[in-house]
Amino acid sequence: MITLTGTNRSIHFVDYICVGSVAGLLSIWVLPNTIALRHVFLVTGFLSACWIIYRSSFFRGRSVQELLPLYALSTLFIWVIIHYLFFSLNPVLEAQEITSLWLRSLLCVVIAIGLRISLDEHEKLQPYFFIALWFVPLVNLGAYLFISWRAGYFLLPSEFINAFTFKKIEAAFYGVLAVSIACANLIYYYRKSTIKKKTVTMIFWFSGILLAFASAIVANTKNGVAAIFGLCVLLAISLLSKLFFDKKLSLKLWKKILAVSLTLVCLGAVWQVHMRFASPGWITLLEDIRIAHQIDKHDFWRYSGNDWSKKFPKQTLPKNSLDTPVAGNTYERVAWATVGVHLINLYPYGYGSVNQSFKKMLDFADIRHELQSQTHSGWIDFGLAYGVPGLIIFTFIFFIIFISAIWRINQFSLMGLWLILGIAPFGLIAEITYKHNFETLIFFLSLACSFTITHKSSFEDLHPKK
């Protein structure tokens, strides 16, 4: 069903192990109490990927320009070591994370390269990876339907989020990653006219997007719905550009127009469903953001969640022009982000901890608080951890992936490009650099880097030379 132009060499057992390990990781990364199993998948994936890289001679005879995305990624790990040696504000804690979180992330880099090679060399393995992308949205939505069935009615999203093990960020993050790859493949197949089973393949990816949308809605995650909606709008624009600017339009133009129209209708319907059941706050979003930015005027941000209501039961959050309290999640995210940016300005080299960057930096700066969480902005959290240089490195990685991806457009490079189109903005509004989400981030970022590097069994270009 899902095909690429690749080689027809026989599939070795290490390729199955690598792809199977990735599928396993995508299945259990979000589940609690699975650290031992996660280590098993990381080790088996790493060992199989090492053999795949060696067998394929992936790095042999390549120029610096070809490998620039991976070189850019390597500077992130180099900066971590430099930071630990010269700039750490808590060497003990940073050393613990280097030997755990960062070591697992390094294994993820190698696994991503091995996966990229296997997917290119063996097209029969691709469906396993593509289907595994939808595990989290599928399980999340399946759990919603099952719990609703047991309750005897369809739960409201606000009821469901307290009844299942997944957190909102996990449903949102994995949905964004899957939709990013779906958008890339839809564009690829939409523009190709010679691929077999094209319609079936596009239905598969469209169905996946709807699945991710439904998962984000029942998880009551505003940032997830907004990010997926933004990706789909960008997808619709890309599809429309083919219709209006391609001089070699197909005779079946009406079918393409219908596909784009259905996409837009589905987007509008999904957004209306989300607006109907989402937590309040969309209507007054801009005003709530302005109020939340006033951290010197309001002190509610110093407490986690609703802890402030226990300490000050007679007080409510600041009110907007509708004489209603600002949305709690908007207030927390904006206020914490504002404080985080202020701390980055004060300590531009960062604290040295990915998982406790906000709390520990507040303690170091002697700022009164009772917080146990991050800022809910992945890039601000990472800036607190590894400073302005760390943020510059991430920006450089995104830039290199973008340039490398558009240099030679093909299916793999499109997936790399759309991954950063999903990850980069989503990291502004979601804590994607926290705990196991950081490992997932590094894996998909490594995969995006690898996707932009042409393998020796090179695949057909969207714009082949005449």
pLDDT of residue 8: 44
Q: Is the pLDDT of residue 310 over 90?
A: no
Q: Is the pLDDT of residue 279 over 80?
A: no
Q: Is the pLDDT of residue 248 over 60?
A: no
Q: Is the pLDDT of residue 451 over 90?
A: yes
pLDDT of residue 65: 87
pLDDT of residue 104: 97
Highest mean pLDDT among 162-171, 243-252, 422-431: 422-431
Greater confidence (252 vs 63) lies with: 63
Per domain, the residue ranges of the chain are 13-283+376-451
Q: Is the pLDDT of residue 252 over 60?
A: no
pLDDT of residue 464: 41
Binned at pLDDT 50, 70 and 90, residue 354 comes out as very high
User: What is the percent of the chain where pLDDT is above 70?
Assistant: 81
Q: Which long-range contacts (CB under 8 A, 24 or more apart) does 289-292 make?
A: 289/330, 289/334, 291/318, 291/320, 291/326, 291/331, 292/326, 292/330, 292/331, 292/332, 292/333, 292/334, 292/335, 292/338
- Report the range of poorest mean pLDDT among 18-27, 29-38, 251-260, 287-296: 251-260
The answer to whether the CB of 401 falls within 8 A of the CB of 448 is yes
Q: Is the pLDDT of residue 69 over 90?
A: yes
Q: Give per-residue pLDDT as tens, 168-221.
A: 788 899 999 999 999 999 988 877 756 566 778 888 998 899 899 888 888 888
pLDDT of residue 251: 45
Q: Give per-residue pLDDT as tens, 96-117.
A: 999 999 999 999 999 999 999 9
The answer to whether the CB of 179 falls within 8 A of the CB of 228 is yes
Q: Is the pLDDT of residue 317 over 80?
A: no
**Rounded mean pLDDT of 271-296?**
68
Tell me the pLDDT of the chain averaged across its residues. Answer: 84
Q: Give per-residue pLDDT as tens, 386-397.
A: 999 999 999 999
Q: Give per-residue pLDDT as tens, 324-348.
A: 778 777 888 888 999 999 999 999 9
Residue with tokens 């850019």: 72
Q: Is the pLDDT of residue 459 over 50?
A: no
pLDDT of residue 365: 94
pLDDT of residue 190: 78
Q: Is the pLDDT of residue 432 over 50?
A: yes
Binned at pLDDT 50, 70 and 90, residue 70 comes out as very high
Highest mean pLDDT among 1-10, 34-43, 366-375: 34-43
Q: Is the pLDDT of residue 24 over 50?
A: yes
pLDDT of residue 193: 59
> Under 8 Å CB-to-CB from 71, ≥6 apart: which residues?
64
pTM of the full predicted structure? 0.89
Binned at pLDDT 50, 70 and 90, residue 226 comes out as confident
Q: Give per-residue pLDDT as tens, 434-445.
A: 989 999 999 999
pLDDT of residue 9: 58
List the Cα angle 226/229/233 in 5-degree steps.
Answer: 135
pLDDT of residue 33: 85
Binned at pLDDT 50, 70 and 90, residue 398 comes out as very high
Q: Is the pLDDT of residue 44 over 80?
A: yes
